[in-house]
Chain A
Protein backbone atom coordinates (compact mmCIF):
# COMPACT_ATOMS: atom_id res chain seq x y z
CA UNK A 1 0.00 0.00 0.00
CA UNK A 2 1.38 3.34 -0.96
CA UNK A 3 1.27 5.93 1.85
CA UNK A 4 -1.19 8.77 1.30
CA UNK A 5 0.66 12.07 0.89
CA UNK A 6 0.30 14.30 3.93
CA UNK A 7 -1.99 17.18 3.01
CA UNK A 8 -1.09 20.69 4.10
CA UNK A 9 -4.55 21.58 5.35
CA UNK A 10 -5.43 25.13 6.41
CA UNK A 11 -6.26 25.16 10.09
CA UNK A 12 -9.83 26.15 10.98
CA UNK A 13 -8.72 27.38 14.43
CA UNK A 14 -6.43 29.96 12.81
CA UNK A 15 -9.29 31.10 10.63
CA UNK A 16 -11.55 31.47 13.67
CA UNK A 17 -8.92 33.69 15.29
CA UNK A 18 -8.65 35.74 12.11
CA UNK A 19 -12.43 36.07 12.00
CA UNK A 20 -12.58 37.18 15.65
CA UNK A 21 -9.91 39.82 15.02
CA UNK A 22 -11.77 41.13 11.98
CA UNK A 23 -15.04 41.29 13.94
CA UNK A 24 -13.34 43.13 16.79
CA UNK A 25 -11.87 45.65 14.37
CA UNK A 26 -15.30 46.16 12.78
CA UNK A 27 -16.93 46.65 16.17
CA UNK A 28 -14.28 49.22 17.14
CA UNK A 29 -14.81 51.01 13.83
CA UNK A 30 -18.57 51.07 14.40
CA UNK A 31 -18.13 52.41 17.94
CA UNK A 32 -15.89 55.15 16.63
CA UNK A 33 -18.34 56.07 13.85
CA UNK A 34 -21.37 56.00 16.11
CA UNK A 35 -19.66 58.17 18.74
CA UNK A 36 -18.83 60.70 16.05
CA UNK A 37 -22.42 60.64 14.82
CA UNK A 38 -23.66 61.03 18.38
CA UNK A 39 -21.41 64.05 18.89
CA UNK A 40 -22.69 65.52 15.66
CA UNK A 41 -26.30 64.84 16.65
CA UNK A 42 -25.89 66.63 19.98
CA UNK A 43 -24.35 69.78 18.51
CA UNK A 44 -27.37 71.44 16.87
CA UNK A 45 -28.97 73.98 19.18
CA UNK A 46 -32.46 73.46 20.53
CA UNK A 47 -34.77 76.39 20.02
CA UNK A 48 -37.53 77.15 22.47
CA UNK A 49 -40.50 79.13 21.33
CA UNK A 50 -42.59 80.76 23.97
CA UNK A 51 -46.05 80.43 22.53
CA UNK A 52 -47.69 82.09 25.52
CA UNK A 53 -45.90 85.41 25.37
CA UNK A 54 -45.47 85.97 21.67
CA UNK A 55 -44.10 88.37 20.54
CA UNK A 56 -41.31 88.00 23.08
CA UNK A 57 -39.84 91.02 24.73
CA UNK A 58 -36.37 90.24 23.46
CA UNK A 59 -36.54 88.34 20.23
CA UNK A 60 -32.80 88.60 19.65
CA UNK A 61 -32.17 85.04 20.90
CA UNK A 62 -32.93 82.09 18.72
CA UNK A 63 -31.10 82.88 15.49
CA UNK A 64 -29.71 79.88 13.68
CA UNK A 65 -26.37 81.57 13.05
CA UNK A 66 -23.35 79.52 14.17
CA UNK A 67 -22.14 80.09 17.67
CA UNK A 68 -19.07 82.19 18.08
CA UNK A 69 -17.67 85.46 19.25
CA UNK A 70 -19.49 87.40 16.56
CA UNK A 71 -22.64 87.51 18.60
CA UNK A 72 -25.38 89.08 16.54
CA UNK A 73 -26.47 92.51 17.53
CA UNK A 74 -29.90 92.76 19.10
CA UNK A 75 -32.65 92.88 16.56
CA UNK A 76 -33.60 96.47 16.19
CA UNK A 77 -37.23 96.27 15.13
CA UNK A 78 -39.12 95.34 18.31
CA UNK A 79 -37.22 97.66 20.66
CA UNK A 80 -37.61 100.53 18.18
CA UNK A 81 -41.34 99.96 18.13
CA UNK A 82 -41.48 100.09 21.87
CA UNK A 83 -39.21 103.11 21.87
CA UNK A 84 -41.57 104.92 19.53
CA UNK A 85 -44.76 103.91 21.28
CA UNK A 86 -44.03 104.23 24.91
CA UNK A 87 -43.12 107.93 25.15
CA UNK A 88 -46.16 108.84 23.10
CA UNK A 89 -48.33 106.73 25.33
CA UNK A 90 -46.73 108.15 28.43
CA UNK A 91 -47.08 111.72 27.22
CA UNK A 92 -50.64 111.30 26.22
CA UNK A 93 -51.59 109.55 29.33
CA UNK A 94 -50.05 112.25 31.45
CA UNK A 95 -52.15 114.91 29.75
CA UNK A 96 -55.29 113.20 28.60
CA UNK A 97 -55.95 110.45 31.07
CA UNK A 98 -55.36 112.46 34.19
CA UNK A 99 -58.56 114.59 33.85
CA UNK A 100 -60.60 111.53 33.07
CA UNK A 101 -59.65 110.02 36.37
CA UNK A 102 -60.88 112.97 38.31
CA UNK A 103 -63.29 112.04 41.05
CA UNK A 104 -66.96 112.35 40.26
CA UNK A 105 -68.67 115.63 41.26
CA UNK A 106 -69.39 115.84 44.95
CA UNK A 107 -72.83 115.23 46.14
CA UNK A 108 -74.65 117.09 48.87
CA UNK A 109 -74.75 115.32 52.25
CA UNK A 110 -72.26 112.64 51.41
CA UNK A 111 -69.02 114.00 52.84
CA UNK A 112 -67.54 110.66 53.80
CA UNK A 113 -68.29 109.18 50.39
CA UNK A 114 -66.67 112.15 48.65
CA UNK A 115 -63.56 111.92 50.78
CA UNK A 116 -63.27 108.28 49.97
CA UNK A 117 -63.63 108.96 46.27
CA UNK A 118 -61.00 111.68 46.39
CA UNK A 119 -58.58 109.45 48.22
CA UNK A 120 -59.19 106.68 45.74
CA UNK A 121 -58.60 108.99 42.81
CA UNK A 122 -55.43 110.30 44.42
CA UNK A 123 -54.14 106.79 44.91
CA UNK A 124 -54.95 105.87 41.35
CA UNK A 125 -53.12 108.95 40.09
CA UNK A 126 -50.10 108.11 42.20
CA UNK A 127 -50.07 104.55 40.92
CA UNK A 128 -50.35 105.69 37.37
CA UNK A 129 -47.61 108.27 37.77
CA UNK A 130 -45.37 105.62 39.23
CA UNK A 131 -46.08 103.30 36.30
CA UNK A 132 -45.37 106.03 33.81
CA UNK A 133 -42.15 106.92 35.56
CA UNK A 134 -41.13 103.27 35.57
CA UNK A 135 -41.94 102.88 31.91
CA UNK A 136 -40.01 106.00 30.99
CA UNK A 137 -37.05 104.94 33.06
CA UNK A 138 -37.10 101.45 31.51
CA UNK A 139 -37.27 102.98 28.09
CA UNK A 140 -34.38 105.31 28.82
CA UNK A 141 -32.30 102.44 30.10
CA UNK A 142 -33.23 100.30 27.13
CA UNK A 143 -32.11 102.99 24.70
CA UNK A 144 -28.95 103.57 26.72
CA UNK A 145 -28.05 99.92 27.05
CA UNK A 146 -29.21 98.72 23.62
CA UNK A 147 -26.87 96.01 22.35
CA UNK A 148 -25.26 95.37 25.71
CA UNK A 149 -27.30 92.25 26.48
CA UNK A 150 -29.02 93.60 29.58
CA UNK A 151 -32.63 94.46 29.95
CA UNK A 152 -35.62 94.46 32.13
CA UNK A 153 -37.27 91.70 34.14
CA UNK A 154 -34.78 88.83 34.21
CA UNK A 155 -32.60 89.49 31.19
CA UNK A 156 -29.71 87.07 30.87
CA UNK A 157 -26.55 89.07 31.50
CA UNK A 158 -23.87 86.49 30.85
CA UNK A 159 -22.20 86.07 27.49
CA UNK A 160 -23.15 82.55 26.45
CA UNK A 161 -23.24 80.48 23.30
CA UNK A 162 -26.04 80.65 20.78
CA UNK A 163 -27.69 77.39 21.87
CA UNK A 164 -27.46 78.38 25.51
CA UNK A 165 -28.86 81.77 24.65
CA UNK A 166 -32.04 80.19 23.32
CA UNK A 167 -32.48 78.20 26.44
CA UNK A 168 -31.58 81.23 28.58
CA UNK A 169 -34.22 83.28 26.78
CA UNK A 170 -36.78 80.60 27.35
CA UNK A 171 -35.96 80.42 31.05
CA UNK A 172 -36.10 84.22 31.16
CA UNK A 173 -39.53 84.12 29.65
CA UNK A 174 -40.73 81.56 32.18
CA UNK A 175 -39.25 83.61 35.03
CA UNK A 176 -40.89 86.73 33.73
CA UNK A 177 -44.28 85.02 33.61
CA UNK A 178 -43.89 83.79 37.16
CA UNK A 179 -42.54 87.12 38.35
CA UNK A 180 -45.57 88.94 36.96
CA UNK A 181 -47.80 87.04 39.35
CA UNK A 182 -45.60 87.37 42.44
CA UNK A 183 -44.17 90.88 42.07
CA UNK A 184 -44.19 93.08 45.16
CA UNK A 185 -41.80 95.78 46.30
CA UNK A 186 -41.42 98.54 48.86
CA UNK A 187 -38.58 100.58 47.43
CA UNK A 188 -38.88 102.64 44.27
CA UNK A 189 -36.71 100.78 41.75
CA UNK A 190 -35.24 97.66 43.33
CA UNK A 191 -32.89 95.43 41.34
CA UNK A 192 -31.80 91.90 42.19
CA UNK A 193 -29.18 89.94 40.29
CA UNK A 194 -29.79 86.24 40.80
CA UNK A 195 -27.62 83.43 39.47
CA UNK A 196 -29.78 80.39 38.73
CA UNK A 197 -28.48 76.83 38.26
CA UNK A 198 -30.65 74.26 36.49
CA UNK A 199 -29.70 70.61 36.79
CA UNK A 200 -29.52 68.20 33.87
CA UNK A 201 -33.03 66.93 34.57
CA UNK A 202 -34.52 70.41 34.37
CA UNK A 203 -34.94 70.82 38.12
CA UNK A 204 -33.65 73.89 39.90
CA UNK A 205 -30.24 73.04 41.31
CA UNK A 206 -30.07 76.28 43.28
CA UNK A 207 -29.92 80.06 43.06
CA UNK A 208 -27.76 82.73 44.61
CA UNK A 209 -28.45 86.42 44.99
CA UNK A 210 -25.39 88.11 43.56
CA UNK A 211 -26.58 91.67 44.01
CA UNK A 212 -29.17 92.45 46.60
CA UNK A 213 -31.70 95.22 46.33
CA UNK A 214 -32.12 95.80 50.05
CA UNK A 215 -35.85 95.32 49.61
CA UNK A 216 -36.83 92.10 51.41
CA UNK A 217 -40.34 92.18 49.96
CA UNK A 218 -38.98 92.33 46.43
CA UNK A 219 -36.46 89.59 47.08
CA UNK A 220 -39.15 87.38 48.54
CA UNK A 221 -41.20 88.00 45.38
CA UNK A 222 -38.22 87.01 43.27
CA UNK A 223 -37.76 83.82 45.31
CA UNK A 224 -41.46 82.99 44.89
CA UNK A 225 -41.20 83.63 41.16
CA UNK A 226 -38.21 81.29 40.83
CA UNK A 227 -39.99 78.58 42.81
CA UNK A 228 -43.06 78.98 40.65
CA UNK A 229 -41.17 79.06 37.36
CA UNK A 230 -39.08 76.02 38.31
CA UNK A 231 -41.98 73.69 37.49
CA UNK A 232 -41.94 74.82 33.87
CA UNK A 233 -38.19 74.48 33.23
CA UNK A 234 -37.25 71.92 30.55
CA UNK A 235 -33.92 70.07 30.83
CA UNK A 236 -30.98 72.03 29.34
CA UNK A 237 -30.42 71.14 25.67
CA UNK A 238 -26.73 70.18 25.93
CA UNK A 239 -27.26 67.81 28.85
CA UNK A 240 -25.08 69.89 31.15
CA UNK A 241 -25.91 71.92 34.21
CA UNK A 242 -27.20 75.31 33.09
CA UNK A 243 -26.13 78.41 34.98
CA UNK A 244 -27.18 81.94 34.19
CA UNK A 245 -27.52 85.25 35.96
CA UNK A 246 -30.84 87.09 35.64
CA UNK A 247 -31.60 90.65 36.59
CA UNK A 248 -35.01 91.19 38.19
CA UNK A 249 -36.61 94.63 38.08
CA UNK A 250 -40.19 95.65 38.60
CA UNK A 251 -40.16 97.80 35.45
CA UNK A 252 -42.10 96.35 32.61
CA UNK A 253 -43.56 93.55 34.72
CA UNK A 254 -47.22 94.12 35.35
CA UNK A 255 -48.92 92.22 38.11
CA UNK A 256 -51.47 89.79 36.72
Chain B
Protein backbone atom coordinates (compact mmCIF):
# COMPACT_ATOMS: atom_id res chain seq x y z
CA UNK B 1 0.00 0.00 0.00
CA UNK B 2 2.97 2.23 0.73
CA UNK B 3 4.19 1.56 -2.78
CA UNK B 4 0.79 2.58 -4.18
CA UNK B 5 0.98 5.87 -2.27
CA UNK B 6 4.41 6.60 -3.74
CA UNK B 7 3.38 6.13 -7.38
CA UNK B 8 2.83 9.06 -9.70
CA UNK B 9 -0.50 10.52 -10.84
CA UNK B 10 -0.59 8.68 -14.18
CA UNK B 11 0.13 5.34 -12.55
CA UNK B 12 -2.55 6.07 -9.94
CA UNK B 13 -5.09 6.80 -12.70
CA UNK B 14 -4.09 3.57 -14.46
CA UNK B 15 -4.49 1.66 -11.20
CA UNK B 16 -7.92 3.25 -10.69
CA UNK B 17 -9.05 2.19 -14.17
CA UNK B 18 -7.78 -1.32 -13.59
CA UNK B 19 -9.54 -1.47 -10.23
CA UNK B 20 -12.78 -0.42 -11.94
CA UNK B 21 -12.28 -3.13 -14.58
CA UNK B 22 -11.64 -5.69 -11.89
CA UNK B 23 -14.67 -4.74 -9.77
CA UNK B 24 -17.05 -4.72 -12.74
CA UNK B 25 -15.57 -7.94 -14.15
CA UNK B 26 -16.10 -9.77 -10.90
CA UNK B 27 -19.63 -8.38 -10.61
CA UNK B 28 -20.38 -9.69 -14.12
CA UNK B 29 -18.78 -13.03 -13.29
CA UNK B 30 -21.01 -13.42 -10.21
CA UNK B 31 -24.07 -12.24 -12.14
CA UNK B 32 -23.44 -14.55 -15.08
CA UNK B 33 -22.66 -17.45 -12.79
CA UNK B 34 -26.08 -17.13 -11.15
CA UNK B 35 -27.86 -16.50 -14.46
CA UNK B 36 -26.31 -19.40 -16.37
CA UNK B 37 -26.53 -21.75 -13.39
CA UNK B 38 -30.23 -21.02 -12.96
CA UNK B 39 -30.85 -21.25 -16.73
CA UNK B 40 -29.20 -24.68 -16.86
CA UNK B 41 -31.03 -26.07 -13.83
CA UNK B 42 -34.43 -24.79 -14.84
CA UNK B 43 -33.98 -25.91 -18.46
CA UNK B 44 -33.28 -29.44 -17.28
CA UNK B 45 -36.36 -29.35 -15.05
CA UNK B 46 -38.47 -27.84 -17.83
CA UNK B 47 -37.45 -30.54 -20.33
CA UNK B 48 -38.38 -33.26 -17.82
CA UNK B 49 -41.69 -31.58 -17.21
CA UNK B 50 -42.26 -31.04 -20.97
CA UNK B 51 -41.74 -34.68 -21.93
CA UNK B 52 -43.81 -35.95 -19.00
CA UNK B 53 -46.79 -33.64 -19.48
CA UNK B 54 -47.10 -33.71 -23.27
CA UNK B 55 -50.11 -31.31 -23.24
CA UNK B 56 -49.24 -27.81 -24.34
CA UNK B 57 -52.02 -26.11 -22.40
CA UNK B 58 -50.97 -27.88 -19.17
CA UNK B 59 -47.33 -26.97 -19.77
CA UNK B 60 -48.30 -23.38 -20.47
CA UNK B 61 -50.18 -23.20 -17.19
CA UNK B 62 -47.05 -24.24 -15.29
CA UNK B 63 -44.55 -21.94 -17.03
CA UNK B 64 -44.21 -19.74 -13.93
CA UNK B 65 -42.25 -22.53 -12.30
CA UNK B 66 -39.37 -22.00 -14.76
CA UNK B 67 -38.84 -18.25 -14.95
CA UNK B 68 -35.10 -18.43 -15.72
CA UNK B 69 -35.19 -21.19 -18.32
CA UNK B 70 -34.68 -20.02 -21.93
CA UNK B 71 -36.63 -23.08 -23.08
CA UNK B 72 -39.72 -21.91 -21.21
CA UNK B 73 -39.44 -18.60 -23.10
CA UNK B 74 -39.16 -20.47 -26.38
CA UNK B 75 -42.17 -22.59 -25.51
CA UNK B 76 -44.13 -19.48 -24.54
CA UNK B 77 -43.37 -17.79 -27.87
CA UNK B 78 -44.07 -20.93 -29.91
CA UNK B 79 -47.28 -21.69 -28.09
CA UNK B 80 -48.39 -18.05 -28.41
CA UNK B 81 -47.89 -18.22 -32.19
CA UNK B 82 -49.73 -21.53 -32.29
CA UNK B 83 -52.69 -20.02 -30.42
CA UNK B 84 -52.78 -17.12 -32.83
CA UNK B 85 -52.99 -19.51 -35.75
CA UNK B 86 -55.67 -21.44 -33.93
CA UNK B 87 -57.67 -18.27 -33.32
CA UNK B 88 -57.31 -17.39 -36.98
CA UNK B 89 -58.71 -20.79 -37.86
CA UNK B 90 -61.61 -20.25 -35.49
CA UNK B 91 -62.32 -16.95 -37.19
CA UNK B 92 -62.51 -18.91 -40.42
CA UNK B 93 -65.06 -21.11 -38.65
CA UNK B 94 -62.83 -24.14 -38.85
CA UNK B 95 -63.28 -25.18 -35.26
CA UNK B 96 -60.66 -27.35 -33.54
CA UNK B 97 -58.43 -27.29 -36.59
CA UNK B 98 -54.95 -25.87 -36.55
CA UNK B 99 -53.82 -24.38 -39.79
CA UNK B 100 -52.20 -27.13 -41.83
CA UNK B 101 -50.54 -25.01 -44.46
CA UNK B 102 -46.77 -24.51 -44.36
CA UNK B 103 -47.20 -20.81 -43.72
CA UNK B 104 -48.48 -21.55 -40.21
CA UNK B 105 -45.46 -23.75 -39.35
CA UNK B 106 -43.17 -21.11 -40.75
CA UNK B 107 -44.71 -18.53 -38.49
CA UNK B 108 -44.07 -20.70 -35.43
CA UNK B 109 -40.53 -21.39 -36.65
CA UNK B 110 -39.84 -17.67 -37.01
CA UNK B 111 -41.28 -16.97 -33.57
CA UNK B 112 -39.03 -19.64 -32.06
CA UNK B 113 -36.01 -18.26 -33.90
CA UNK B 114 -36.74 -14.78 -32.68
CA UNK B 115 -37.12 -16.04 -29.11
CA UNK B 116 -33.84 -17.97 -29.41
CA UNK B 117 -32.05 -14.84 -30.61
CA UNK B 118 -33.45 -12.72 -27.80
CA UNK B 119 -32.45 -15.36 -25.24
CA UNK B 120 -28.94 -15.60 -26.67
CA UNK B 121 -28.70 -11.81 -26.44
CA UNK B 122 -29.90 -11.92 -22.82
CA UNK B 123 -27.45 -14.66 -21.88
CA UNK B 124 -24.51 -13.02 -23.64
CA UNK B 125 -25.24 -9.58 -22.21
CA UNK B 126 -22.19 -8.03 -20.40
CA UNK B 127 -19.88 -10.80 -21.65
CA UNK B 128 -18.28 -8.32 -24.04
CA UNK B 129 -17.07 -6.38 -20.99
CA UNK B 130 -15.26 -9.50 -19.78
CA UNK B 131 -13.67 -9.90 -23.21
CA UNK B 132 -12.65 -6.25 -23.26
CA UNK B 133 -11.14 -6.50 -19.77
CA UNK B 134 -9.28 -9.67 -20.65
CA UNK B 135 -7.75 -8.17 -23.77
CA UNK B 136 -7.05 -4.59 -22.67
CA UNK B 137 -6.26 -4.72 -18.92
CA UNK B 138 -2.73 -6.13 -19.39
CA UNK B 139 -1.96 -3.39 -21.90
CA UNK B 140 -3.33 -0.67 -19.65
CA UNK B 141 -1.19 -2.10 -16.84
CA UNK B 142 1.81 -2.22 -19.14
CA UNK B 143 1.25 1.41 -20.03
CA UNK B 144 1.29 2.29 -16.31
CA UNK B 145 4.50 0.33 -15.86
CA UNK B 146 6.22 1.94 -18.81
CA UNK B 147 5.19 5.37 -17.58
CA UNK B 148 6.34 4.59 -14.02
CA UNK B 149 9.72 3.36 -15.26
CA UNK B 150 10.11 6.47 -17.41
CA UNK B 151 9.47 8.65 -14.36
CA UNK B 152 11.81 6.52 -12.24
CA UNK B 153 14.64 6.84 -14.77
CA UNK B 154 14.05 10.56 -15.02
CA UNK B 155 14.44 10.76 -11.24
CA UNK B 156 17.60 8.68 -11.41
CA UNK B 157 18.99 11.03 -14.05
CA UNK B 158 18.28 14.02 -11.86
CA UNK B 159 19.86 12.52 -8.74
CA UNK B 160 22.81 11.17 -10.70
CA UNK B 161 22.83 7.91 -8.77
CA UNK B 162 22.17 4.62 -10.53
CA UNK B 163 22.67 2.17 -7.70
CA UNK B 164 20.24 -0.71 -7.28
CA UNK B 165 18.87 0.88 -4.13
CA UNK B 166 17.86 3.93 -6.16
CA UNK B 167 16.61 2.12 -9.29
CA UNK B 168 14.73 -0.79 -7.67
CA UNK B 169 11.95 1.03 -5.74
CA UNK B 170 10.85 3.03 -8.80
CA UNK B 171 10.69 -0.07 -10.99
CA UNK B 172 8.88 -2.02 -8.25
CA UNK B 173 6.27 0.73 -7.97
CA UNK B 174 5.85 0.78 -11.73
CA UNK B 175 5.43 -2.99 -11.94
CA UNK B 176 2.38 -2.84 -9.65
CA UNK B 177 0.38 -1.58 -12.64
CA UNK B 178 1.23 -4.66 -14.74
CA UNK B 179 0.50 -6.94 -11.80
CA UNK B 180 -2.93 -5.41 -11.23
CA UNK B 181 -3.62 -5.48 -14.97
CA UNK B 182 -2.98 -9.21 -14.99
CA UNK B 183 -5.02 -9.68 -11.81
CA UNK B 184 -7.97 -8.00 -13.55
CA UNK B 185 -7.49 -9.74 -16.91
CA UNK B 186 -6.96 -13.37 -15.88
CA UNK B 187 -10.34 -13.94 -14.15
CA UNK B 188 -12.09 -11.97 -16.90
CA UNK B 189 -10.65 -14.22 -19.64
CA UNK B 190 -11.38 -17.36 -17.64
CA UNK B 191 -14.93 -16.22 -16.91
CA UNK B 192 -15.52 -15.23 -20.54
CA UNK B 193 -14.40 -18.63 -21.87
CA UNK B 194 -16.37 -20.50 -19.22
CA UNK B 195 -19.62 -18.63 -19.83
CA UNK B 196 -19.24 -18.75 -23.61
CA UNK B 197 -18.99 -22.51 -23.36
CA UNK B 198 -22.02 -22.80 -21.07
CA UNK B 199 -24.06 -20.48 -23.30
CA UNK B 200 -23.11 -22.55 -26.36
CA UNK B 201 -24.60 -25.58 -24.62
CA UNK B 202 -27.76 -23.64 -23.84
CA UNK B 203 -28.02 -22.45 -27.47
CA UNK B 204 -27.72 -26.05 -28.66
CA UNK B 205 -30.48 -27.02 -26.22
CA UNK B 206 -32.69 -24.19 -27.50
CA UNK B 207 -32.14 -25.26 -31.15
CA UNK B 208 -32.93 -28.81 -30.26
CA UNK B 209 -36.04 -27.80 -28.36
CA UNK B 210 -37.22 -25.60 -31.24
CA UNK B 211 -36.90 -28.51 -33.66
CA UNK B 212 -38.78 -30.82 -31.29
CA UNK B 213 -41.51 -28.25 -30.77
CA UNK B 214 -42.00 -27.80 -34.53
CA UNK B 215 -42.04 -31.57 -35.05
CA UNK B 216 -44.72 -32.00 -32.40
CA UNK B 217 -46.83 -29.23 -33.91
CA UNK B 218 -46.43 -30.62 -37.41
CA UNK B 219 -47.29 -34.14 -36.24
CA UNK B 220 -50.41 -32.94 -34.47
CA UNK B 221 -51.44 -30.96 -37.55
CA UNK B 222 -50.79 -33.93 -39.86
CA UNK B 223 -53.02 -36.15 -37.66
CA UNK B 224 -55.88 -33.83 -38.19
Contact = CB atoms under 8 A, between A and B. Distances in A.
B72 interface: yes
A241 B126 CA distance: 56
Contacts of A9: 35, 68
B190 interface: no
B95 interface: no
Given A5-B63, A10-B35, A16 B1 contact: no
Nearest to B63: A5
B132 interface: no
Contacts of A22: 26
A8 B68 contact: yes
Contact of A7 (B27, B28, B68): B68
B80 A5 contact: no
A1 interface: yes
Interface stretch (B16-24, B133-141, B159-167, B192-200): B16-24
B209 interface: no
Nearest to A20: B23
A94 B73 CA distance: 116
Interface residues of B, number: 28
Nearest to A16: B27
Interface string B58-102: 001001101110001100100110011000000000000000000
Nearest to A10: B34
A9 B126 CA distance: 14
Contacts of A80: none
Given A8-B67, A16-B24, A31-B1, A2 B35 contact: no
B76 A2 contact: yes
A42 to B, nearest CB: 12
Q: Main secondary structure on chain A at its contact with chain B?
A: helix
A97 interface: no
A23 B35 CA distance: 22
A51 interface: no
Contact of B83 (A2, A27, A34): A2
Nearest to B35: A10
A16 B21 CA distance: 11
Name the residue in A11, A12, A23 with the highest tally of chain B Cβ atoms < 10 Å from its Cβ.
Answer: A12
Given A10-B35, A38-B2, A23 B26 contact: yes
B130 to A, nearest CB: 13
A195 B15 CA distance: 48
A31 B5 CA distance: 12
A15 B2 contact: no
Interface size class of A (residues with CB under 8 A): 20 to 34
Given A7-B67, A10-B31, A38-B2, A2 B60 contact: yes
A23 B23 contact: yes
B26 A4 contact: no
Contact of B24 (A4, A11, A19): A19
A15 B63 contact: no
B23 A5 contact: no
A246 B1 CA distance: 40
A5 B31 CA distance: 20
B49 interface: no
A23 B1 contact: no
A18 B27 contact: yes
Contacts of B30: 15, 18-19
Interface string B1-44: 11000000000000000010011101110110011001000000
A146 B27 CA distance: 70
30 contacts: A1-B83, A2-B60, A2-B80, A4-B76, A5-B63, A5-B64, A5-B67, A6-B64, A7-B68, A8-B67, A10-B35, A10-B38, A11-B31, A12-B27, A12-B28, A12-B31, A12-B126, A15-B27, A15-B31, A15-B34, A16-B23, A16-B27, A18-B26, A18-B27, A18-B30, A19-B23, A20-B23, A23-B23, A34-B2, A35-B1
Interface of B: 1-2, 19, 22-24, 26-28, 30-31, 34-35, 38, 60, 63-64, 66-68, 72-73, 76, 79-80, 83-84, 126
Given A1-B83, A2-B76, 17 more contacts: A2-B79, A5-B64, A5-B67, A7-B67, A10-B34, A10-B35, A10-B38, A11-B31, A12-B27, A15-B26, A16-B24, A16-B27, A19-B23, A19-B26, A23-B22, A34-B1, A34-B2
